[in-house]
Chain A
Amino acid sequence: MEKYWGFIIPVVSVLVALIIAAFVILSVGKSPVEAYIIMVKGAFGSAGAIVNTIVKTAPLVLTGLAVGFGFRAGVFNIGAEGQMIMGALTATAVGINLGWAPPYFALSLTIISGMLAGAGWAAIAGYLKAKTGAHEVVTTIMLNWIATYLSAYMVQVPLAVGSGTPKSPEIAPSAKLPVLMKVGPLEMSAGIIISVIAAIVMYVVLEKTTMGYEVKAAGFNPYAAEYGGISISKNITMSMAISGALAGLAGVVELMGVHHRFLGTLSGGKGFDGISIALIGQNHPIGIIFAALLMGALRTGSNEMQFAGISKHIVMIIQGIVIFLVAADRIVRTMILWRKRRKVKA
């Protein structure tokens, strides 16, 4: 049984959350069955819907990996949102200036610059935790707000173009991710491939390398790890940087694959979604891919629900309940064991 808990807890949590959310929908006088049918149709009902869901899933896999990698290393990176913004912002500044460069050069330079920016932004929090003990939850939240306002300034003054909504110019065509599939106006870029590769790389690093072993050891029991010769302060900074690089990559994928320019709504809570995704996926790269697909589907489907008069905030409520149940996983365990005991008695 113990072996399967990692699978059972998130699945049961999601089901319980969907049931509670059904009552919330009922409480405002709408039919939850209808709402969920609209949601599923909106996420998977047509070729366009599926493409839309996959496009939404790509950056979510990466923010999920970012937070999940942090958890494995014993840090709570609640700042994926800010790192994503910094990644996309830096990639924009680089990408708009690469009109002269051939695609392979422009693509790799833009991607790397975005990842480095995300890594650097997160490393600030890692360094502060290692050197002064400042908790990463507080510092990364502050860095989120700073990144938000910094980007708002950047697209209003130095990088601004046109009038209306503040935005940057488009990045060079050679810095746009290649399009894999087109359904009507919807384009699916290679972003999803980048995300899946990142998940595989993270799996290999964590399970097959010395570095991965050290990261996990430091996350599991920092004191024992330090005694075993692993430098904790180095590990914290590095783990945050890697986590931030993944979040930065999420921003890059969103920029180079979807919007092609920096807009205020580019991150749109995807960094915070990463927390739910990492917890539902139990911090396992493969679990995270499926959790991101679930979240991508919820996000796409909830847009359709909005047309039926049900606020898409319902997704946040579902996420909150799932995270709550995963945090206190003994609630779910007790629930399942209690039902089993009752069966044995009967």
Chain B
Amino acid sequence: MRVLEALLDVFRNPQFYSISLTASTPLIFASLGGVFSEITGVVNIALEGIMLMGAFVSTAFTYYTGDPWIGILMAMVVGMGVAWLHAWASIKWWGDQIVSGTAIILMAQGITGFLMKPVFGQVGQTDLEKFKMVKHITREINPIIKPIKLPIPEKTFLGQAIGTISPLVILAFVSVFIGWFIIYKTTLGLRMRSVGENPEAADTLGVNVYGIRYFGVMMSGVFASIGGAFLSVGDTGIFKELMTGGRGFIALAAMILGNWNPIGAMLASILFGASEAFANQLQSSKLIEVSSSVKPLFNMVPFVVTLIVISGFIGKTRPPSADGVPYKKTD
């Protein structure tokens, strides 16, 4: 009974909803990125690596310039560059897209780990105070993007849940709707979808297949890197080695579950984010005693949920027909 009580208590706590949003945001960005890439026919499992680069680059530029927005901007640029590398291998060289994605994840893990010491002066995870000491910086550095206050009374449930919110969370939802609009309501979106469904036909009609695919993949880099940057400068203010912890793959699952539609991917991301928040809240519940040694079992929850959902719902969703198939243009 106490366990049931504790379960229900999680939902009554406004904190659960605010943590759910925080946990969902990186997934929303990354899965939107996944949609942009795969809708044009390029599988992008490199999301995990691009997110990691985004988290690293944004932290680095934030620490050196003192402005987290510059960090985000640079993360977008670098994310686009990393995605270009994947696009170049996949589109120009007809490379195996899954293997190329794996390569990029490894490179991202290697590069971020390798640069920890030269950039931040320490390994493992960053520490702002130590960084300032090592690099002789005395000015004030704000490592986190300041949350904004919404005009909701603070005392109310809603006010406690989402009254104070990171602008990046709002940006995530705005991006999803813009993404949806581009893909389903514009000529560009029609071309993206046609290139992903039937590149031969699109080519015959004069659509630049390679150009559209480059656009899709590079946009996925932009979104995934903001998602990664949210983990560092949007939430914690630090960079930790391998801090993405599989979120790129959960975002891929959200994209599949959302049927390659930005809105569907967003809803699936919220489901996965909420399951992470749920496990998180349950283990700090005051109603049941959770010893620290069983914590790993709670950490397992989002991955178990993703595994079950992805195998239960798949087949009911359909990928773009030419997803993952290189287009071999004949001159």
A interface residues with partner B (beta carbon < 8 Å)? 24, 28, 76, 78, 128, 132-135, 137-139, 141-146, 149-150, 152-153, 156-157, 160, 272, 275-276, 279, 311, 313-324, 326-331
Contact = CB atoms under 8 A, between A and B. Distances in A.
Contacts of A76: 98-99
Given A139-B311, A142-B303, A321 B296 contact: no
Contacts of B3: none
15 contacts: A78-B102, A128-B311, A135-B256, A137-B249, A139-B311, A142-B303, A144-B246, A146-B303, A311-B123, A316-B110, A316-B114, A320-B110, A329-B95, A330-B94, A331-B89
Given A314-B110, A326-B99, A328-B93, A145 B300 contact: yes
B107 A146 contact: no
A331 B293 CA distance: 49
Contact of A317 (B111, B116, B299, B303): B111
Interface in B85-136: 85, 89-90, 93-100, 102-114, 116-118, 123
A141 B102 CA distance: 12
A157 B104 contact: no
Contacts of A323: 99-100, 102-103, 106
Given A320-B104, A320-B107, A324-B89, A146 B304 contact: yes
Contacts of B310: 134, 138-139, 142
Contacts of A328: 89-90, 93-96, 100
Contact of B107 (A28, A134, A321): A321
Given A134-B314, A153-B297, A316 B118 contact: no
Interface in B286-331: 293-294, 296-297, 299-300, 303-304, 306-307, 310-312, 314-315
A132 to B, nearest CB: 5
A296 B36 CA distance: 39
A324 B93 contact: no
Nearest to A317: B110
B103 A327 contact: yes
Nearest to B116: A311
Contacts of B111: 24, 313, 317
A313 B113 contact: yes
Contacts of B93: 328, 330-331
Given A134-B314, A275-B102, A327-B96, 19 more contacts: A76-B99, A139-B310, A142-B246, A142-B250, A142-B253, A143-B307, A153-B293, A153-B297, A311-B113, A311-B116, A316-B110, A317-B110, A320-B104, A320-B106, A320-B107, A320-B110, A322-B103, A328-B89, A331-B93
B103 A141 contact: no
A139 B308 CA distance: 9
Nearest to A139: B307
A153 B291 CA distance: 11
B103 A133 contact: no
Interface residues of B, number: 51
Contacts of A316: 106-107, 109-110, 113-114
Contacts of A160: 293
A28 B315 CA distance: 49
A313 B110 contact: yes
Interface in B24-47: 45
A132 B94 contact: no
A320 B52 CA distance: 15
Contacts of A327: 89, 95-97, 99-100, 102-103
Nearest to B253: A138
B183 interface: no
B33 to A, nearest CB: 16
Contacts of A319: 106, 110
Given A138-B256, A146-B307, A330-B95, A320 B103 contact: yes
Contacts of B103: 320-324, 327
A85 B159 CA distance: 45
Contacts of A313: 109-114
B172 interface: no
A128 B307 CA distance: 10
B212 interface: no
B89 A156 contact: no
Max count, chain A CB within 10 A of own CB: residue among B90, B93, B111, B307: B307
Nearest to B95: A328
A156 B45 contact: no
Nearest to A324: B103
B294 A157 contact: yes
B256 A149 contact: no
Contact of B98 (A137, A142, A157): A137
Contacts of B299: 149
A133 B110 contact: no
5 closest cross-chain pairs (CB), A and B: A316-B110, A328-B95, A320-B107, A313-B113, A320-B106
B252 interface: yes
A150 B98 contact: no
Nearest to A135: B256
A128 B104 CA distance: 26
Contacts of A149: 296-297, 299-300, 303
B92 to A, nearest CB: 8
B89 A311 contact: no
A338 to B, nearest CB: 14
Contacts of A157: 293-294
A87 B90 CA distance: 35
Contact of A28 (B106, B118, B253, B300): B118
Interface string B139-165: 000000000000000000000000000
B80 to A, nearest CB: 18
A322 B110 CA distance: 13
B293 A156 contact: yes
Of A142, A279, A326, most buried by chain B (CB within 10 Å of CB) is A142
Contacts of A144: 246
B296 A272 contact: no
Contacts of B246: 141-142, 144-145
